[in-house]
Amino acid sequence: MSQGLVPRPVSVTPAPGVVVLAPGSVVAHDPALRPAARWWRRVTEDAFGLDLVPLPDGAAAHDPTGTTATVRFAVDRDLPPSGCRLTVDDAGVRVDAADLDGAHAAAQTLRQLAGPAAFRRAPVGRDHGGRPWTDGQPRPVAGALTLPHVTITDHPRFAWRGVLLDVARHFLPKADVLRFVDLAAAHKLNVVQLHLTDDQGWRMEIERYPRLTEVGAWRRESGVGTWRAGVSDGRPHGGSYTHDDLREIVAYARERGVTVVPEIDVPGHVEAAVAAYPELGTRKTPHAVRTTWGVSTEVLDPSEESLAFFRDVLDEVLDVFDAPFVALGGDEVPTTLWRDDPAIVARAATLGLDDVADLHGWFLARLAEHVASRGRRAVVWDEAFGPALPRDVVVASWRGWAAGADALAAGHDVVMAPEQVVYLDHREGDGPDEPVPVGFLRTLEDVYAFEPLPGGLADAVARAGAAASGALLGGQAQVWTEHLDSVRRVDYAAFPRLAAFAEVMWSPAADRSVGSAASLEFRARLETHHLPRLDAYGVEYRPPSGPHPWQTRPGVHGWPRDLAAELAAGGLRGVGGWVEGRDRHTGGPA
């Protein structure tokens, strides 16, 4: 049995009986587990109208009057890393955790055991005047929480259980980012990669270079649907975060066991930065922030001046974010303008590079070295993988699996994030009402069947030699927002598929193929137990039967892609996007 939990735990042993937490119930915790215990106590008090009594850090499991603690968070070093054991019995609730990460996971499990009501911000009982609710239905009176007797042991399958949130294409206010962090934590995802810069917007305040947000955070309009339709909304769009906004997001996430990894994309996807500081670009000409989607041919001039500029930018990023990782992008870097510039061609020769395209890897390596000098590790997309890339850089494989396998064999740690499966902006249905149908058709079951390192590639990596191989850190789903212009659209694209992805990352390996027993059981568990939790939290997910009328986008054209055809052309080596009217696969017009 799973008790309806998502992700599914390693083991669940239910037992007869219940525990009732009432006002005055005592909560004790080991000092190392205080953030998890405090978070659980606060959300439980809010949801059920309880006043729980916290003991001071390190206090014995009794309050000064001798009352035994009802809820205890304790450290157990014998558990696996990030592991936990949750016991609910006549003695109360006991959380044993290997570390703080394990305690955060147990706190989320404990919240799910309390039912959908635990995902509300206030108790659903009688209103403040004591009158029944107007629909005449009975409601439980606030002030008590009942938990079933159960023993749960759990630990994650992968260390990196990530989701990328793109706030560059469409800005999300800080409150919406905090809400997304909450939802990631609720699914035991522990990394939120915040995509802060792109051609269409620069979202992080950089005090040394204020025009990055004064100019780069705003565009005059946005494309609607595929760029091929040539439709724009005519409405200015923008926004940015101050240092303190981002510090708040980081601290908020940390209190929930989530690491926020910032992404500053270079040397491509930089039109917003170049609009603010034209001298950074290859063309050197003033222009506006990009208003259409896709990949621009404008890239950074790979000069010492550009390197100095972005070292300064990264210094502020490193000061604001406490993550051990900083993402540098490195994807989709057309070299056309470099090849057409004699000075840049000469620079590549002076540096001893075989081809001007090698400036891509050279530039990123210099910035990765700067990140390393500050005690952090760089993360890059798989196009940046090559001989010039320092070994400590993490490679995120988005164009398929094979690039990630190659990076593993070369000694890099890898995060698998293939577009073919875990790009959640891609369409979930093929019906006529599917809003802005872009990319590959990827159903809930397709995402649930995702395997970060398929067997054949795992064997190939093993043959490369364990001594040389890096580690598969885990996987990451992406929520790109070209076509997601509000938090409601983000909800629709991300959920419930993100719940399926979270189970793949957390729960033990299994046959999760489409139509398998595990896949069918997951859908039943999701619809019976987990969707009511999302309803209570206020998530406007895509219903299993298809979009509600208000979730459709009539008249907005997408660009569906044929996964089978692209896989046949590229296999596990992947797919890719497009570059300003040129098809990346054929070289001809798109």
Token pair of 299 as six digits: 């890239």
Cβ neighbours for 363, distance < 8 A, ≥ 6 positions apart: 266, 267, 300, 302, 306, 307
Cα(303)–Cα(280) distance, integer angstroms: 8
Per-position DSSP letters for 497-559, written without gaps between them: HHHHHHHHHHSPP----TTSHHHHHHHHHIIIIIHHHHHHHT--PPPTT---GGG--TT----
CB 478 within 8 A of CB 577: no
From 107, 130, 253, 283, select the one nearest 192 (Cα to Cα).
253
Tell me, what DSSP letter sits at residue 113?
A: H
From 121, 130, 146, 144, select the one nearest 51 (Cα to Cα).
144
Cα(88)–Cα(102) distance, integer angstroms: 17
| Number of residues that this document lists for the chain | 590
Token pair of 159 as six digits: 């260390």
Cα(75)–Cα(30) distance, integer angstroms: 7
Cβ neighbours for 223, distance < 8 A, ≥ 6 positions apart: 231, 232, 233, 291, 292, 293, 482
Per-position DSSP letters for 55-77, written without gaps between them: PPTT--SB-TT-PBPSEEEEE-T
Give catalytic residue positions.
Answer: 198, 269, 332
From 412, 380, 426, select the one nearest 577 (Cα to Cα).
426
B/e letters for 450-488, b = 16+ CB within 10 Å, e = fewer, are bbbbeeebbeebeeeeeeebbebbbbbbbbbbbbbbebe
